[in-house]
Amino acid sequence: MWSRRQGRLRPTVCGVEELRRRRREQEAALRKARREQQLVSKRLLREDVPEEAGEGCVAAILGEAEVQQFLRQAQRGTEEKEREGALVSLRRGLQHPETQQTFIQLEGSMRTLVGLLTSNQALLQLEAARCLHELSHSEHSTIAEACLPATSYLLTYLSGHSPDFIELCLYTLGNLIVESEAVRRQLLPQGIVPALAACIQSPHVAVLEALGYALSQLLQAKEAPEKIIPPASASSSILASTLPQHMLQMLQPGPKLNPGVAVEFAWCLHYIICSQVSNPLLIGHGALSTLGLLLLDLAGAVQRTEDAGLELLACPVLRCLSNLLTEAAVETVGGQMQLRDERVVAALFILLQFFFQKQPSLLPEGLWLLNNLTANSPSFCTSLLSLDLIEPLLQLLPVSNVVSVMVLTVLCNVAEKGPAYCQRLWPGSLLPALLHTLAFSDTEVVGQSLELLHLLFLYQPEAVQVFLQQSGLQALERHQEEAQLQDRVYALQQIALQG
């Protein structure tokens, strides 16, 4: 059930180290893009795959005359195969940005393509749709906008019956949506939300995955929190439609759960929830309960397989749960029941271990959920103690400063609940770990260590003596000049000396 689709192996022209280096560079560039809010992701369905750079592409760039010729052949050819072939050639050419530009600048080209898209020749329709799909992948919003005449038809075809065709239309729409606000401004009144709501009842997995993708792109739009998500926006509203209930259904663990589909809808849910528009509505639909069960299921899957694809689903699920837990509605609505279940904590730690081994950059997200679970819950704090999870938590301290701060925060969540909790934190590795983190140079890490120390001294006074014996005072002294830490360092020194 959780087996990941294997990508085709790329020819290894370079060593593993080189690949890793390139990947790191790529990730750094992407992080930069995200910081500048320039991260635009698209999906491309393509049959002919160009070989790695350096070996040249399969198709050549087409000039104006060639584009015209192919269009004419497609439109007026006598033999079907000839017409289809012309469109295939055009489609290959459209893999190149230059051809795309040429195409849209040619008068009547889009009109012809739309005519072929709506023709009575099914295979021409398909090829025309593929041409549009190539165009949708362009990075230029002018090209996306040139596809505007086709959108009403793409939407109409969503209520058709050919799954491959619908899938193609959905990916094309998704790509166009993310590229241009002008496209979205047209698609919303054209009824994209009701069209998607109707289409989500399809039994075809590929269609559902494509739909999830298109929807996730719509939800990522910067105007989504005001114009697309809220229930008040009537016909273009996601929350007023039946989409949320269907989305949650796709996330329910069980034999029908498809990982590819679940990934898309989990991301959709994340975009809705972090927009903080109307989360109590989602809680009312059982989001907490469903996501909690899914988390348990994920932890089970992680234990069973070596699959590296699970973090793609784990990440949005963690985010959704963490954000939902901040809603006041959590206390009042019955959905909270699931999240009193301490198996959630067990599952989370299994996932943390998985991240530690496979994807350390996701550790903060897991710890974020742990914080939100434990902050106001004596029950979960007790679970951490009774399930012996303090030790594993401490093992995460060396990973990074961000992770350290979060680990210390969770420990503070436990410690601040009083002596009964601090007794269980003592003795053990906690004090040595704190002495270690006090040696860090990061102010936030040290600051959080001081907070934890303070709680420990308050509720477990025996700790003071041991602290002194292990050169605790010297550890504190290091930071007495630091503006952000001074007061707390001084206060702790006083407590230690008096104790």
Partner 1 sequence: MQLPPALCARLAAGPGAAEPLPVERDPAAGAAPFRFVARPVRFPREHEFFEDGDVQRHLYLQEVLMQVADAPEKPRVPAFACQVAGCCQVFDALDDYEHHYHALHGNVCSFCKRAFPSGHLLDAHILEWHDALFQILSERQDMYQCLVEGCTEKFKTSRDRKDHMVRMHLYPADFRFDKPKKSRSPASAEVPGDSGERSEGEAMEICSEPVAASPAPAGERRTYSHRSVSKLFLKHVLNVCSVLRILGCTWAAALLTLNSER
Residues 166-185 interacting with partner 1 (rule: CB under 8 A)? none
Name which position in 57, 61, 385, 466 contacts partner 1 (CB under 8 A): 385
- The nearer residue to partner 1, 63 or 80, going by C-beta atoms, is 80
- CA dist., res. 220 & res. 23, Å (int): 25
SS3 111: helix
- CA dist., res. 110 & res. 91, Å (int): 13
Give the footprint of partner 1 on residues 100-159 (CB under 8 A).
111-112, 115-116, 118-123, 125-126, 149, 152-153, 155-157, 159
Do 437 and 404 touch, CB atoms closer than 8 A?
A: yes
- The nearer residue to partner 1, 63 or 223, going by C-beta atoms, is 223
Name which position in 88, 195, 200, 218 contacts partner 1 (CB under 8 A): 195
Count, residues near partner 1 per rule CB under 8 A: 144
Give the footprint of partner 1 on residues 248-287 (CB under 8 A).
263, 267, 271, 274-276
Do 52 and 13 touch, CB atoms closer than 8 A?
A: yes
Cα dihedral angle (382, 387, 390, 394), rounded to 10 degrees? -150
Told to check if 26 binds partner 1 by CB under 8 A, we report yes
Told to check if 97 binds partner 1 by CB under 8 A, we report no
Q: What is the DSSP string of 233-254?
A: GGGG-STTSSHHHHHHHHT--S
Name which position in 311, 317, 405, 425 contacts partner 1 (CB under 8 A): 311
Told to check if 63 binds partner 1 by CB under 8 A, we report no
Told to check if 61 binds partner 1 by CB under 8 A, we report no
- Please report which residue ranges of 416-461 form alpha helices under DSSP H: 419-424, 430-437, 443-459
- The nearer residue to partner 1, 89 or 112, going by C-beta atoms, is 112
Name which position in 487, 494, 497, 499 contacts partner 1 (CB under 8 A): 487
- The nearer residue to partner 1, 63 or 149, going by C-beta atoms, is 149
Told to check if 353 binds partner 1 by CB under 8 A, we report yes
Q: Judged by CB under 8 A, which stretch of 250-258, 319-327, 426-434, 464-472 contacts partner 1?
A: 319-327
Q: Sign (positive/negative) of CA torsion 353, 294, 27, 47?
A: positive
- Give me the helix-helix angle, 430-437 and 462-469, nearest 10°: 50
- CA dist., res. 391 & res. 450, Å (int): 19
- The nearer residue to partner 1, 97 or 364, going by C-beta atoms, is 364
Do 66 and 98 touch, CB atoms closer than 8 A?
A: no
State in angstroms the smallest separation of the CB of 26 from partner 1. Answer: 8
Give the footprint of partner 1 on residues 214-253 (CB under 8 A).
225, 235
State in angstroms the smallest separation of the CB of 417 from partner 1. Answer: 5
Name which position in 323, 404, 449, 460 contacts partner 1 (CB under 8 A): 323
Q: Judged by CB under 8 A, which stretch of 61-69, 88-96, 246-254, 294-302 contacts partner 1?
A: 294-302
- CA dist., res. 187 & res. 373, Å (int): 40
Q: Judged by CB under 8 A, which stretch of 57-65, 90-98, 292-300, 427-435 contacts partner 1?
A: 292-300
Q: Sign (positive/negative) of CA torsion 239, 242, 244, 247?
A: negative
Q: Judged by CB under 8 A, which stretch of 4-12, 56-64, 243-251, 434-442 contacts partner 1?
A: 4-12
State in angstroms the smallest separation of the CB of 470 from partner 1. Answer: 22
- CA dist., res. 370 & res. 387, Å (int): 14
Q: Tokens 């860090």 label which residue?
A: 440
First to last CA, the chain: 58
Q: Tokens 């009964």 label which residue?
A: 420
